[in-house]
Amino acid sequence: MYPLMFKPILKERIWGGRKLEEKYGRQLPEGKIGESWDIACHPNGTSIVDNGIYKGKSLSELIEERGKDILGKIVEEDFSKFPLLIKILDASDVLSVQVHPDDEYAAANENGELGKTEMWYILDAEPGAIIYYGVKPGISREEFREAIEKGQLESYLGRMEVKKGDVIYIPAGMVHAIGAGIMICEIQQNSDTTYRVFDWNRKGADGNPRELHIEKALDVIDFEGKHSREKVKGLAVQEQGGERTIYVACRYFVMEKLDIAGEMKECADGDKFFTLTIAEGSGEIRYDGGVQAFSAGDSLLIPASLGSYSIAGDCTVIKAYVPDRQKDIVDYLEAKGFTREQMNAIAGLFED
């Protein structure tokens, strides 16, 4: 096996723009391109390999042929789906206010679809750009419903100014919306289930209001404030070749940022696969079978069976993977001398 690269799956959205072309030099079709599914294996979009001997083969076909070599132990756990979806989003206009269900609600109401917990890494943001994040404290379900019906929901939502490099954790049930002028890398469960709560009273491309999913949304919204409504601080560890910052370590995925100046050694020992998205800079993956170059905007899948490899260059890399168990992260950080209190800077680490 070797590091896999894919053809981006581009999706037009009413709120999209052209920054994927401007920032990363991607060839885009006409229109407002809002989403690029960079690593995907979902009925609504499956990646096609764009390098090496498997070029032209879909990720689903490759997993069927080389499942354990690609995914590692996840195959033994009988995952019915590839567990992650990696996207880049370009919001030239504000997105709808939306929320995602958890696994239990999605299984019961969305034909067995997974729930959706996700996180955002802000790749770029115009000065003063904001996101909407969470329901303000003390707002009841009925007050929220009434505000939707009146078309006056904004004052009921938390809002947060964001800048390049910020990390936002969005567990299932957290109401959210990306504001205008923001580009993000999104790591999420492999789900395309979104409940649109409010769409700023605008109309779709067909001239009609876009569909809302108010009743389902009200069923799953976190009105109690169970989760933090702050940016994720993360915990940084100095390593040879750069700095590793762990931002999210929930049951569904771990997200690390690697700031590399030189060469950082990594290993895919057969247990799990990794995804790498290049936020900035350029470099190469060095592995036993060769070298794979990359540049800003690229995403790669590191197969579980790749073995020892290194990431070399001057770059910022967003790394994601499915943890064997969250305790492994705790043990790793305790060995580095961090306390449990310090580990609270990592989102999702001590969730049930």
Helix/strand/coil percent split, the chain, to 5: 20, 40, 40
Annotation says 18 is catalytic: no
Question: What is d(CA 15, CA 40) in angstroms, rounded to the nearest whole number?
Answer: 21
Question: What is d(CA 24, CA 45) in angstroms, rounded to the nearest whole number?
Answer: 21
For residue 225, is it left (φ>0), alpha (ψ between -120 and 50) or beta?
left
Q: Are strands 254-268 and 299-302 parallel, antiparallel or unpaired?
A: unpaired
Here the tokens at position 224 are 């109690």
Paired with 236 in beta bridges are 245
Task: Give me the catalytic one of 13, 159, 196, 202.
Answer: 196
Here the tokens at position 70 are 């690609």
What are the Cα distances from residue 170, in Å, to 10, 80, 189, 195, 261? Answer: 23, 23, 11, 14, 30
Residues taking part in catalysis? 196
